[in-house]
Structure 1
Amino acid sequence: MKKLGFGCMRLPLLDQNNQKSFDMPQLCSMVDAFLERGFTYFDTAYMYHDFESERVMKQALIERHPRETFLLATKLPTMFLKEVPDMERIFSEQLEKTGAGYFDYYLLHCLNEENYATVQRLNAFDFCMRKKQEGLIRRLGFSFHDSAALLDKILTEHPETEFVQLQLNYLDWDNETVQSRKCYEVAKKHGKDIIVMEPVKGGTLAKVPEQAEQLLKRYAPAHSVPSWAIRFAASLDNVVMVLSGMSSMEQLQDNMSYMEQFQPMKPEEIDLCMQVRDIINGTIAVPCTACRYCVEGCPMQIPIPDYFALYNAELQEVEKPFTVQQTYYENLTRQYGKASDCVACRQCEQHCPQHISIVENLKKVAETFEV
């Protein structure tokens, strides 16, 4: 199994402000090219693209290719579970939306302290094991966004877990909030296969500061900037798959070019990644990956990731007399809530995998753009 997985959280769109405006011709071409080059793994989820990712993958993948030619992963949304019947209802809906017949990989989605308590209360692991016994799940795991200590607890209490999906990238490797390295070491200690999410950290490691890019280009002029992030994750022991949210054919072709015949990183390449990490840490104000978990349910309909992206870009261009970020911000506020509309309910912070202080950072966004 080739180590590059097709992440379905950032599919190609015709309108970036409309998560359902799929560019179907491009998506179908990307799926076809991916399979033709020998890659097989597709990762979607119940809530991706305003709950339409599973359905659109039915059209682009499942209805167009023999079922045995690909592996499909999706997830039980623990953040939406209230009562036991919710699990059966959502699982049945996922089977209907995808038309897949069964799921090769099935995950309990986004386990953290709060969601794990829900999983335990509803016996969600037992539910998934029953589905596995029925042949509807081939491999069972979970995605995780919390401390290494909690991960160790979950894997100890649920040895039936076959794999874990972790946020691993060189920017977060020694971050004490995300704890990439520590979580990786726990999963490895338990002997679990590891699937990597956010290897490029929502595009952050695809568009690094100029100083960092020059550092990488001097070593390997022909290698793209994001290739360093994907290869870093794929070089780790026990990593069986690295997911990349590819939103264009250009991104897909680049990723396949170096992952088709994957070569693990050399020690000096890993050292260069850590040098780039240090440069980036000096420029990013808000480490948002644009997963959009914070947007669902926001009472003021604030496009939080979009505002943080503009804010980060604005700070990087602080010495220029004019920046375009202000214009983009004003465009968004015509359709969505402003940063200053935040009512500090903090439900967004409960769902943020990066543990960002969203409310406080929205205040900074408002101070920057709402002059």
Structure 2
Amino acid sequence: MLKREYKNTGDQISVLGLGCMRLPKIEGSETIDRAEAQKIVDLAYERGVNYFDTAYRYHEGDSELFIGEALKKYPRESFHLATKMPMWMVNSPEDTKRIFEDQLSRCQVEYFDFYLCHAMNATYLETMKKHGVYEYLMEEKKAGRIRHLGFSFHDSPEVLRQIVEYGEWDFAQIQLNYLDWELQNAKSQYEILTEHGIPVVVMEPVRGGALASLCEESDRILKEARPDHSIASWAVRYVASLPNVMTVLSGMSTLQQVEDNTATMIGFEPLTDKDRETIAAALEAYRKNKTIPCTGCRYCMDCPFGVDIPGVFKAYNTFAIGGGKDRMRNEIAAFGEGHGPDQCKSCGKCMKLCPQKIQIPDRMKEIAELLAQK
């Protein structure tokens, strides 16, 4: 198993970590299938995984209880346990202390190797300041009940800078994969953390499974380049090849996933320049497969009914490759009232002008219906 030394401490961290948010569940329920989940933990541990990541509210609060029990049979110094303070549940300084004590009890440990402020953003930065969360956790660090203090993050690069500069952080956890590298500012986030000497823990390296199978053409490109490698392994290798990545979390819910991901890290091959070209080609095929082939030439404009046709298609295409429906809504709303897809009257004028022969009225109807859904 590929391991990296954490900040010259001598601690060797497996570059693959087990994320405990997607553990197997008993069929027809939300309850963790403890027998199957234990097999996953045991196989991961056996194959060299020593970083286990959970959180207070994963699996409706059951994840910490499970992982505490699952790891109890192993020597405490042989694994690194990470959990998180649920910032949305902090309404007073007392909440922080109560939750932290509860987590130690649930996980059956006397200290956490890595501890995070969960899902930090601009709002939770204010929560942190108001209720002294950082100061309390630093006290626990001095007391030895937290070895390394960090945060997980979901916001803009600008907010990330504010959080980084607020405290002395040992590490940070961000969503990072080859799709989000540009799409969700993952590149900027990675660079900010690297600039400040903060090691990165990667979440969503396979984007919730989306990068385990992109589309038929993308999968063909990746398989032809490396027939013996899974599609998912490309995503894992992409992030693990970045020098400031400490560990890559994977929410493995089957033994097959454990076997595949550990095989990638046991025989780890950093990405070559040719591999990067292959990923770029697969991404381009994915975009073409999922998106409307609008080039933004604006030959279709102006629409007699006010629709910003290329603008709507650009917003939709960002959504189609994983940008999120809220982002699409916001981008279309920014055009101003009367310029969205719902204004299309299917007059057909634009279709006569479109070099790409896009069925514009049909696509506008589809996008309008999509936006109308909650």
TM-score normalised by the shorter chain: which range applies?
0.7 to 0.9
Cα RMSD for the two superposed structures: 2.5
1:254 positional shift: 0.4
CA distance in 1, matches of 2:66, 2:169: 28
SS at match of 2:206: coil
Q: After superposition, what is the alpha-carbon deviation per residue over 1:176-216, rounded to whole angstroms, capped at 9, x for unaligned?
A: xx210010010011011111000000000012101000000
Return 5+ residue gaps in structure 1 as ranges: 286-314, 317-352
Amino-acid identity (%): 38
Distance 1:65 1:8, change over 3 A: same
- AA at the equivalent of 2:48: G
CA distance in 2, matches of 1:155, 1:121: 17
Q: After superposition, what is the alpha-carbon deviation per residue over 1:253-306, rounded to whole angstroms, capped at 9, x for unaligned?
A: 000111013221111212222222233334558xxxxxxxxxxxxxxxxxxxxx
Q: Does 1:35 align with 2:45?
A: yes
Residues 127-166 of structure 1: pairs in structure 2 closer than 5 A = 127-158=136-167, 160-166=168-174
Partner of 2:216: 210
Partner of 1:89: 98
Partner of 1:261: 267
Distance 1:363 1:66, change over 3 A: farther
CA distance in 2, matches of 1:197, 1:220: 24
Q: Which moved more, 1:206-215 or 1:356-365?
A: 356-365
- AA at the equivalent of 2:178: Y
Q: Does 1:357 align with 2:326?
A: yes
CA distance in 2, matches of 1:76, 1:18: 26
Q: Does 1:6 align with 2:18?
A: yes
Q: After superposition, what is the alpha-carbon deviation per residue over 1:329-363, rounded to whole angstroms, capped at 9, x for unaligned?
A: xxxxxxxxxxxxxxxxxxxxxxxx97641996999
- Normalised TM-score (structure 2): 0.75
Asked if structure 1 preserves the Cα contact closer than 8 Å seen for 2:217 and 2:286, the reply is no
Asked if structure 2 preserves the Cα contact closer than 8 Å seen for 1:2 and 1:260, the reply is no
Partner of 2:207: 201
Partner of 1:51: 61
- AA at the equivalent of 2:220: Q
Partner of 2:239: 233
CA distance in 2, matches of 1:354, 1:129: 36
Distance 1:198 1:362, change over 3 A: farther
Return 5+ residue gaps in structure 2 as ranges: 1-12, 292-319, 330-365
CA distance in 2, matches of 1:146, 1:358: 13
Asked if structure 1 preserves the Cα contact closer than 8 Å seen for 2:222 and 2:231, the reply is yes
Asked if structure 1 preserves the Cα contact closer than 8 Å seen for 2:87 and 2:119, the reply is yes
Q: After superposition, what is the alpha-carbon deviation per residue over 1:220-270, rounded to whole angstroms, capped at 9, x for unaligned?
A: 001000000011000012101000000000000000111013221111212
- AA at the equivalent of 2:77: E
Consecutive aligned runs of 4 or more in structure 1 exceeding 4 Å deviation: 282-285, 353-356, 358-368
CA distance in 2, matches of 1:6, 1:239: 15
Asked if structure 1 preserves the Cα contact closer than 8 Å seen for 2:40 and 2:253, the reply is no
Q: After superposition, what is the alpha-carbon deviation per residue over 1:53-112, rounded to whole angstroms, capped at 9, x for unaligned?
A: 101112222x22221211100000111111111101111111111112210000000111
Partner of 2:125: 116
1:28 positional shift: 1.2
Partner of 2:29: 18
Partner of 1:242: 248
- Normalised TM-score (structure 1): 0.75
Partner of 1:170: 178
CA distance in 2, matches of 1:167, 1:106: 17
1:366 positional shift: 9.7
- AA at the equivalent of 2:36: Q
Q: Which moved more, 1:81-90 or 1:25-34?
A: 25-34
SS at match of 1:357: helix
- AA at the equivalent of 1:19: E
Residues 57-96 of structure 1: pairs in structure 2 closer than 5 A = 57-61=67-71, 63-96=72-105
Residues 93-104 of structure 1: pairs in structure 2 closer than 5 A = 93-104=102-113
Partner of 2:310: none
Partner of 1:330: none
Q: Which moved more, 1:141-150 or 1:30-39?
A: 30-39
SS at match of 1:276: helix
Matched residue count: 298
Distance 1:259 1:10, change over 3 A: same
- AA at the equivalent of 1:174: E
Q: After superposition, what is the alpha-carbon deviation per residue over 1:121-162, rounded to whole angstroms, capped at 9, x for unaligned?
A: 11211111011111110000000111111111221221x101
Distance 1:209 1:354, change over 3 A: closer
CA distance in 2, matches of 1:362, 1:254: 38
Q: Which moved more, 1:206-215 or 1:52-61?
A: 52-61
1:19 positional shift: 2.7
CA distance in 1, matches of 2:367, 2:82: 34
